[in-house]
Amino acid sequence: EFADLLEATGVEYKPTAYRRAAENVREHTAPIENLAGEGEAAVAEIDRVGDAIASKIVEYFETGEIEELEALREELPVDMAGLTAVEGVGPKTVGSLYEALGVTTLDELEAAAEAGEIREISGFGAKTEENILENIPFARESRKRTRLGDARPVADAALSYLADLDAVESAEVCGSIRRWKDTIGDIDLLVASDAREPIVEAFTGWAEADATIEAGSGKASVRASGTRVDLRVVDPDEFGAALQYFTGSRAHNVAVRNRAIDRDLKLNEYGLFDVSDVDGAGAEDGGAEADDRRVGERVAGETEAGVYEALDMDPVPPELRENNGEVEAAAAGELPDLVEAGDLRGDLHTHTDWSDGGFSIAEMIGAAADRGYDYHVVTDHAAGPGIFGNTGLDEPDIAEQAAAVEDAVSEVDGAVLGRGIDDGGGGDDADDPIAVFHGIEANIDAEGAITTDDDALADLDLVVASPHSALGQDGDAATERLVRAVEHPHVDVLGHPTGRIINSRPGVSPDVEAVVAAAADAGTAIEVNANPARLDADGDTVRAAVDAGAAVAVNTDAHSPRELDNARYGVHTARRGWAETADVLNARSAAGLREFLDG
Ligand code: DGT
Ligand code: CA
Ligand code: CA
Ligand code: ZN
């Protein structure tokens, strides 16, 4: 926020310094409040945190605010996050709009654009005004939902807090977070216990809850990290039915409930009941529901699997519960054997300090080895459109990095060059070496050409090609572009296909069927970029890829060891796309991967 406000008031350089510092504070292993307690010098030990920023951090922990930031907020009283959510509106634009028109909110921005006032500001124009107007609905919509990657850690923390309470028999997340949707309206939690009141009390007293929204008998809602968290407490013998009900989606529940009705059964959040002897109880969603909700003989409800089994279905993995054929598949015993987090054997898209990553090649290999991976692919940015300044590697850099990868491999215990191994490397034995491959993240230009020379690409083990520029092009152009890219003989993986940033930029909208069909034909994998800001390809695109027979690669695009942990977001997104282990390229052995690359 400090950086944005500085930038909006026309300050140069400093915003970048603040953002870099913020990033390194976030990545730092010791809690910042501990360092601040030790004083400025301890805080300034953090890379890229200078004395000035360190003193502000200490000021914040000592006084609860930063004087200079408060002054900036007064000078520029704008809803910065709301306004910059509009694509094409950065902090500088916010500053100009405030100065010229006094715009502080999204609503005021919209009114100004509609009144034609923005085009009158110098440096703006009719086209800019149109773009702003066009992008406001997306910004407004996206502001309402929380990214999975922001909500999931909150849900995990709440869940472990609740699970540790004495009176709690079982605790689970439900709702969209259990289905691993890419954005979350609110977090839903379910607890089985005979003691409702103490649990509600403990929940509203949770240290990470910023406010209580409501608290009643057996249910409560709090706000934590800006997201609403709903808790329901149910009887232990009704936990399975409640879990099934509150996991949703609504469309899935309707389909399952209809299956119950067909069998003279009644399904609700309290259980599955045989109502064949009860008059009229099969009538759905009537106002009298509350009165006859536990009517008839109970046939299931203690476990969720029991509910599905009593309906002659295999238990449906939460990620599939969107009423997209999973009810029929479960009834036919034909659910997919979904990929699991433990199936991943390596990451095919990672960065180092050779481009915009923060860690050395050896550090990243070491981190991958620590995770028990069988292989690791170094794919720094190639220079090209959309890659900032000299962040990317040109052809001579790539050759130089090849030697550096060899050096790093010789430095890291248990690392071997992937290209040299002949036994496939990395079996199930924990002592097996980690095979290291040298790749690149090349750029796909607006027309679909790869902007690195073929000769340089040919020397690499693996090429991820991604769109980083022209992300506003129309759907047909995007289709042509991506089809051409996947057909490029040296391209192995199509990286973050749309270029979307969730809640911030929609990315391109190609004809997905055409792209995945071309990828399947060309033997190019479709990436599920596991960075929770991207989740690109999304579940629907994965499903199309799997149906077309294209391989899927679940990659973190990690710029630090910690970001390798994002793999789970990619795995669950792949599961939302019905991906089986066999569909996932980096669930194959090193030998299998090499076979794919050579084929
Ligand atoms: P969200 O929070 O917008 O990301 O999406 P959900 O799916 O978490 O929706 P939410 O939080 O409103 O409710 C959680 C689940 O509870 C939902 O997926 C299905 C179930 N549920 C809630 N209300 C109803 C309802 O009126 N009818 C049915 N069939 N299911 C409901
Ligand atoms: Ca929810
Ligand atoms: Ca909810
Ligand atoms: Zn990229």
175 Cβ closer than 6 Å to some ligand 1 atom: yes
pLDDT at 138: 75
Residue 496 CA to ligand 4 center (angstroms) comes to 7
Q: Residue 279: pLDDT band by 50, 70, 90 thresholds?
A: low
- The finding on whether 186 has its CB within 6 A of some atom of ligand 1 is yes
Residue 429 has phi, psi (to 5 degrees) of: -75, 130
The whole-angstrom separation of Cα 166 and Cα 179 is 27
Question: Which residue has the least CA distance to atom 17 on ligand 1?
Answer: 248
Name the more confident of 537 and 432: 537
Q: Tokens for 468?
A: 């980083």
Ligand 1, atom nearest to 249 Cα:
18
The model's pLDDT over 132-181, given as tens digits with 9 standing for 90+, comes to: 999 898 788 666 789 999 999 999 999 999 999 999 999 999 999 999 99
Q: Report the C-alpha dihedral over residues 157, 160, 166, 167, rounded to 10 degrees.
A: 80
- CB-based contact 551:585 (threshold 8 Å): yes
Helix axes 512-522, 475-487, angle to 10 degrees: 10
Could you tell me if 425 and 374 are in contact, meaning their C-beta atoms sit under 8 angstroms apart?
yes
Q: What are the tokens at 314?
A: 């295999």
The ligand placed nearest to the CA atom of residue 556 is 4
Could you tell me the two tokens for 138? 């997306």
**From the CB of 184, is ligand 1 less than 6 Å away?**
yes
Is the bond into 249 cis (omega within 30 degrees of 0)?
yes
Kindly report the average pLDDT of the chain as a whole number.
93
Q: Whose CA is nearest to atom 27 of ligand 1?
A: 250
3-state secondary structure of 381: strand
Q: Which residues contact 323 (CB under 8 A, 6 or more apart)?
A: 249, 251, 252, 254, 255
Please state the atom number of ligand 1 nearest to the C-alpha of residue 145. Answer: 4
Q: What is residue 550's predicted lDDT score, i.e. its pLDDT? A: 98
Task: Give yes or no for residue 221 CB within 6 A of ligand 1.
Answer: no
The predicted pLDDT at position 81 comes to 87
Return the CA Rg of the chain.
26
Q: Looking at ligand 1, which residue's alpha carbon is closest to its atom 18? A: 248
Calpha distance 52→115 (Å, rounded): 43
Distance 45 CA to ligand 3 centre (A): 43
User: How many angstroms separate the alpha carbon of residue 435 from the centre of ligand 2?
Assistant: 41
Evaluate if residue 479 carries a pLDDT over 90.
Answer: yes
From the CA of 245, the nearest ligand is 1
pTM: 0.80
- From the centroid of its chain, how far is CA 381? 21
Residue owning the nearest CA to atom 16 of ligand 1 = 246
pLDDT-derived band at 328 (thresholds 50, 70, 90) equals very high
DSSP string, 62-75: HHSS-HHHHHHHHH
pLDDT confidence band for 289 (50 / 70 / 90): very low
**Beta carbons of 457 and 465 less than 8 angstroms apart:** no
- Do residues 466 and 444 make contact, with C-beta atoms less than 8 angstroms apart? yes
- Residue 549: both structure tokens together: 């027979």
Distance CA 3, CA 320 (A): 41
Structure token pair of residue 308: 């599905």
Average pLDDT over residues 536-561: 98
Query: What is the number of the ligand 1 atom nearest to the C-alpha of 176?
Result: 8
3-state secondary structure of 179: coil
Q: Is the CB of 91 under 6 A from ligand 1?
A: no
Nearest CA to 108 among 134, 79, 151, 74? Answer: 79
Q: Is the peptide bond before 537 cis (omega within 30 degrees of 0)?
A: yes
Which atom of ligand 1 is nearest to 186's Cα? 2
d(CA 322, CA 580): 18
Residues linked to residue 273 through DSSP beta bridges, in sequence order: 266, 298
Instruction: Give yes or no for residue 306 CB within 6 A of ligand 1.
Output: no
Residue-wise pLDDT for 203-215, tens only, equals 999 999 988 988 9
Q: Do the beta carbons of residue 192 and residue 167 sit within 8 Å? A: no
- Give the distance (Å) from ligand 1 centre to CA of residue 180: 14
